[in-house]
Chains A and B, each alone.
Chain A
Amino acid sequence: MKAPEKTADLDDTIFDGNHTPEVSSLLAAIVDSSDDAIISKDLTGTIMSWNKSAERLFGYTAHEAIGRSILLIIPPERVEEEPQILERLKRGERVDHFETVRVNKNGSRLNISLTISPVRDASGRIVGASKIARDITGRVRQEKALREANEALKRANADLEQFAYSAAHDLQEPLRMVATYSELLRKKFGGRLGSRADEYIAFTVEGAVRMENLLRDLRIYTQVCTAEHEPVAEINANEVLKRALQNLDVAIKDSGASVTNTELPRVCIYEFQLEQVFQNLIGNAIRYRSIEAPRIHVTARMEGDEWVFSVRDNGIGIDPKFKEHIFGIFKRLHSASEYPGTGMGLAICKRIIERGGGRMWVESTPGQGSTFCFTIRCGGPAKRESEPEEVFDSSGGG
């Protein structure tokens, strides 16, 4: 095309009639080949032109439409749109991608995206409007279906979470009776019913306690997403780590573990959830220790717009083929007698981190230790702190 300046003046040329016949037919060809309906009207709303796509979309031929009011394609419940559009046009404003409904010759409603621009004559006076109408009925229908499917999914998910929580909670009550009363039985009658009875009672107690732990962890897992509604505040990860270590005090002393850390940042996450993540990861590092005393090091580094935390240990490590498996619910790599636990700890951690928009993974060399990593998005830019210096704890371990 050799006349870009002409196409830029398209609006003007249509009405002023001062173009050459070649340009005129070129413009007509462009308009007719458009996939969108292109209609022009004057300021009274009378249709002045009507392209091929308008014929296809609305069902009226150009002959039927030209000279009639634009109300021809506006459904009765939307007639008030037209005066508003005309008002805007008279002020010289455009209407861009206005999503509305129009009606075709059969009376069917169509979802339409409208772009309407004022058309001026040679003297710059607004004399009408060009209207580009795109049929978005398919898209609107798909969007609606998608939205409905999404909502149904959300509801089903919420129901399922509520169900899991309630089940875990309600199953606990009768279980508590089994557990405490089998213990009471042992306490009051142990040694008096014969050794086999003592053994049976012991199995009952053990089973009940184990079930109790499973239910507790299942509840924590389902609560990760349902419990909190208050907004996430920015918290100091150093303080949270300190509290997690206090909770693990006995395990740390008993195992002779040394836990060190670099200066940790302030991050946006629920405080008790981060505490739980630290506590589970460090608790695991202590539990799955090698013959050496556990050495655990916690660090955080900035990568892009998120903090990458890592908890490194010198424990027994994890076979790479189980790298994903260990984050599943009730997944364990060892028998309960080797290493106690419910198999929920890492699942809970991962869920907490993922609910916050982060990721969690493990890097490990069996026999040499594991490093668990997780990411937390930084708070708003106004709150973002400068990157902390890598200050190592005096007790080393880095």
Chain B
Amino acid sequence: MNAVPSPSRVVLAEDNLADIHLVREALQEHHVRCDLRVVSDGEEMLHFINQLDLDNGDPCPDLLLLDLGLPKYSGREILQHLLASKKCSHVPVVVMTSSDWRKDVELAEKHASVHYFRKPSTLAEFMHLGGLVKNMIEAPCRTEPLKEG
């Protein structure tokens, strides 16, 4: 059997349904076909990282799309946790926020692996997120997501 490139694993940490839908639109628009896993609160996200650190056999995601305004634990806390993680500190992150607080921008400027995406109010600008994701995972999947087993 020829080896089929496995799809990129993208985790979206976002609680707002409307934004989840927009992210999917943006990925579709740029033909980013990947395994998108949605995590909708901070606690669940922390648990997810901890499980990977415990070496549960799953690979780290190729990209994390992280909303800063998550319930329970903020995106900021998640980011710190991720950067301190044994296995996943290298994972590139797109910090998504609806604010243009300089602190949020600086947060992204401090870490090379962290990008900043201000959730825009125009659809066209929001769609740019798809292009950004495509560039970051570099080798976009040419296949439909494969489920193993």
Where the two chains meet, the residues of A that have a C-beta atom closer than 8 Å to any C-beta of B are 169, 172-173, 175-177, 179-181, 183-184, 187, 208-209, 212, 216, 219, 227, 272
27 pairs across A/B with beta carbons < 8 Å?
A: A169-B99, A172-B98, A172-B121, A173-B98, A175-B121, A176-B98, A176-B119, A176-B120, A177-B18, A179-B121, A179-B122, A179-B123, A180-B18, A180-B22, A180-B121, A181-B18, A183-B122, A183-B123, A184-B22, A184-B25, A187-B123, A208-B121, A209-B121, A209-B122, A216-B100, A219-B100, A227-B102
List the A residue with the shortest CB-CB distance to B98. A173
- Chain A neighbourhood of B98, CB < 8 A: 172-173, 176
In the complex, what's the smallest C-beta–C-beta distance from A297 to chain B, in angstroms? 31
Most B CB contacts (10 A, CB to CB) among A172, A176, A181 go to A176
Q: Is B73 an interface residue (CB 8 A)?
A: no
Residue of B119, B121, B122, B126 ringed by the most chain A CB atoms within 10 A: B121
Kindly state the separation between the CA atoms of A126 and B138 in the bound complex, as whole angstroms: 92
How far does the Cβ of B94 sit from chain A's closest Cβ, in whole Å? 17
Nearest CB in chain A: distance from B89 CB, A:
29
Contact residues in B for A227 (Cβ distance below 8 Å): 102
Q: A216 to B99, alpha carbons, bound, how many Å?
A: 10
B29 (CB) vs chain A CBs: closest residue: A187
Q: Are B121 and A184 in contact (CB under 8 A)?
A: no
The answer to whether B102 and A180 have CB atoms under 8 Å apart is: no
Judge whether B121 and A212 touch: CB under 8 Å.
yes
CB within 8 Å of A: which residues of B? 18, 22, 25, 98-100, 102, 119-124, 126
- Please indicate the chain A residues that have their CB under 8 angstroms from the CB of B119 in the complex: 176
Question: Is the beta-carbon distance between B123 and A176 smaller than 8 angstroms?
Answer: no
With a cutoff of 8 Å between Cβ atoms, the chain B residues found around residue A272 in the complex are 102
> Is there an interface contact between B122 and A180, defined as CB atoms closer than 8 Å?
yes
In the complex, residue of chain B having the shortest beta-carbon distance to the beta carbon of A174: B18
Minimum CB–CB distance from B8 to chain A (whole Å) comes to 25
The 3 closest A-B pairs by CB, nearest first: A183-B123, A212-B121, A179-B121
Docked CA distance A172–B120 (Å): 10
Per a CB cutoff under 8 Å, which of B99, B100, B123 touches A180?
B123
CA distance A177 to B100 in the complex (A): 17
A209 CA / B125 CA spacing, docked (Å) = 12
List the A side residues contacting B121 at CB < 8 Å.
Answer: 172, 175-176, 179-180, 208-209, 212
Which of chain A's residues has its CB closest to B18's CB? A177
How far apart are B126's CB and chain A's nearest CB, in angstroms? 6
A321 to B51, CA, bound (A): 68
CB distance from B114 to the nearest CB of A (A): 20
Q: Which residues of A contact B123 (CB under 8 A)?
A: 179-180, 183-184, 187
A208 vs B6: C-alpha distance in the bound complex, in angstroms? 41
CB contacts (< 8 Å) of B124 on chain A: these are 183
Across-interface contacts of B100 in A (CB, < 8 A): 216, 219
Q: Give min CB distance, B17 to chain A, whole Å.
A: 10
**Which residues of A lie under 8 Å from residue B18 when comparing CB positions?**
177, 180-181
Q: How far is the CA of A183 from the CA of B102 in the complex (A)?
A: 28
Supply 15 further A-B pairs (C-beta < 8 A) apart from A176-B119, A179-B123, A227-B102: A172-B121, A173-B98, A175-B121, A176-B98, A176-B120, A179-B121, A179-B122, A180-B121, A180-B122, A183-B122, A183-B124, A184-B22, A184-B25, A184-B123, A209-B121
